[in-house]
Amino acid sequence: MSRAVRLNATMDEELLTRLDAYASERYEDRSTALRQLVDFALRELRKRDAIDAYRSGRVTLRDFARALGLTVWAAHDLLRSEGVAVGHGDREETAASLASVLDQLGSSTAG
């Protein structure tokens, strides 16, 4: 774990009230609640950016998975849960992947 650093922030009273309510509901102190919320928001924004990049065709499924630290299958499931159509690659890519899987299966049953 990295070293904690003190941070000062200014926010309006209504936002502070909402932060304190969040902290109270979870039996956390204000600082812990703020860390949790910032972490969640940054992860969610990263996910949204990656989904937008995939949806627009700027990245492949493999790139999308790598950007979020997921397996390709987990990335596939995430995209489907978000209502994003998942491409299946071209015929050559699919054939090469299938051949690779079959070779792996063949070598694992031969031994």
User: pTM value?
Assistant: 0.69
Could you read off the pLDDT of 9-49 as tens digits, one per residue?
Answer: 899 999 999 999 999 999 999 999 999 999 999 999 999 99
Could you read off the pLDDT of 79-105 as tens digits, one per residue?
Answer: 999 999 887 666 676 667 677 778 888
The string of DSSP letters for 4-72 reads: P--------HHHHHHHHHHHHHTT--HHHHHHHHHHHHHHHHHHHHHHHHHHTTSS-HHHHHHHHT--H
